[in-house]
Structure 1
């Protein structure tokens, strides 16, 4: 496929671009910064004209346009910019990317949502553990609100355009292999990483989820939690939950170190299976 990746210079984006190219796709990174040359185009996604121009064709990069779009570009977390700037950037950029893709005849869109829509940082405890996609979104920050509304936008756009597919991937905290050396320090204080139920996602597995979502044959909107198969902790899940969330209902056997951000839907629908763990890297 000819794939436009927005935010391909970011932490997850770099890995996504590399993996998609390794699988034989032509990939163009649309971002504000990046390595100049083939495969990169500088763009301001807040400018609808630039986005439409890019997705309908880029001289010498993708003159005939694209078959699919992966939208990763965003202010990626709360507190990195003012709330108004975060909201305006994320919502306007996503609207421009979605609508330009539709005008360009692109029906295959994968977009980065966020684990934060599940209710992070869980100052109000989750309704049950492990969490999954079945309960209503609970945004607790302006950043999370922007991601929730982006999902709602996708729901309506796929309703308006029955042939359109938009898959939102609710990525957990993205980690590279060099980040794993800090993980053993998390054990000392259970509440330090309770904000996302001690979850993470290796960037390489995040990229796997993007590729599988692109390959998934479907129409309409869907969303999937994307997390590693394990937690960031050496301590047992049952012990952690009993200490930090003693009143939250537990569904099933959570003993051991399996993820408490359920990836069952991603596994069953997309065929997603994490290949990387900080435990193996630390050996």
Structure 2
């Protein structure tokens, strides 16, 4: 299958490209910057905000499936207006071009930050958070991801069924080199994240191994049942990145979670990825315990 990965040189993109290639697909990675070279993977440098350049990529590659990861990747990296404009415009352009050029599957990267847990007084309706929990973003990055999810739903509603549109919310992505001690996206290591709970608390102690998340993008592309049409799917590990139970830890950093956190069992994460398991048979295979200590 011909697969186009936008943002294929990024933290998650490198693993998505690798997993698709490993599964025997014909992969093209498009990015503003080159990633690691891999036999059988074509790299295209392009500005996907340029409508003509983007259309040319689609015309040349003629992808059957698209994994859309390109965009401003972390909160507060750019001014708010730029973050919303870039991420929303990129997503609509890529998703709409994918449909126009005959792709049968498009999966766009969203984020669990749409829940708005960055707010000091954030109070969830329930824990663990599933895809049905209301979203309430509190910063521009979260808003941009909520817009991407709405674009997915809009195109799914207006599609004739020939293309399946899905949004994926990967957790705090840990790339392969980061398990070995390289800094994560916030500039500290995984070991520091465990030793200082306030670091992981900012994201409710969630994480996901990059290859595990990549496998969900591959399963979406390979599925021909249409089960994921218009869906949002979590790609988050089933255990928290924490040494202690979240029923104790979450209220320390997010007081509004106290009532909901009390229902979490020891070792249970604040997020559920059960929908991806139910629809596509996906489950994360790696935990920080075996990845960090291997």
TM above 0.5, yes or no, is: yes
Structure 2 match to 1:171: 170
Structure 2 match to 1:7: 7
Structure 2 match to 1:141: 139
Structure 1 match to 2:93: 96
CA distance in 2, matches of 1:188, 1:110: 34
Cα deviation 1:13-51 (Å, max 9, x = unaligned): 001101100100000001111158960011111111221
Question: Aligned with 2:278: secondary structure?
Answer: helix
Q: CA deviation at 1:255?
A: 2.5
Q: CA deviation at 1:212?
A: 1.4
Alignment coverage as a number of residue pairs: 277
Q: CA deviation at 1:93?
A: 1.0
The answer as to 2:265 corresponding to 1:268 is: no
Question: Aligned with 1:196: secondary structure?
Answer: coil
CA contact (8 A) 2:245 2:268 kept: no
Structure 2 match to 1:82: 79
Aligned 1:34-49 pairs, distance under 5 A: 34-35=34-35, 39-49=42-52
Q: CA deviation at 1:187?
A: 5.0
The answer as to 2:226 corresponding to 1:218 is: yes
Aligned 1:183-202 pairs, distance under 5 A: 183-187=190-194, 189-202=196-209
CA contact (8 A) 1:121 1:194 kept: no
CA contact (8 A) 1:200 1:232 kept: yes
The answer as to 2:55 corresponding to 1:52 is: yes
Structure 1 residue runs of 5 or longer lacking an equivalent are none
Q: CA deviation at 1:114?
A: 0.6
* Alignment CA distance shift 1:91-1:179 (3 Å): same
CA distance in 2, matches of 1:40, 1:201: 26
Structure 2 residue runs of 5 or longer lacking an equivalent are 182-188
Q: CA deviation at 1:116?
A: 0.7
* Alignment CA distance shift 1:43-1:185 (3 Å): closer
The answer as to 2:109 corresponding to 1:109 is: no
**246-255 vs 21-30, which moves further:** 246-255
Question: Aligned with 2:130: secondary structure?
Answer: coil
CA distance in 2, matches of 1:85, 1:199: 27
**135-144 vs 35-44, which moves further:** 35-44
Q: CA deviation at 1:213?
A: 1.5
CA RMSD of aligned residues (A): 2.1
Q: CA deviation at 1:190?
A: 4.0
CA distance in 1, matches of 2:124, 2:226: 30
Cα deviation 1:39-77 (Å, max 9, x = unaligned): 001111111122122112x2xxx4xx1111110001011
CA distance in 1, matches of 2:282, 2:148: 23
CA distance in 1, matches of 2:251, 2:154: 40
Q: TM-score, normalised by structure 1?
A: 0.90
CA contact (8 A) 2:164 2:230 kept: yes
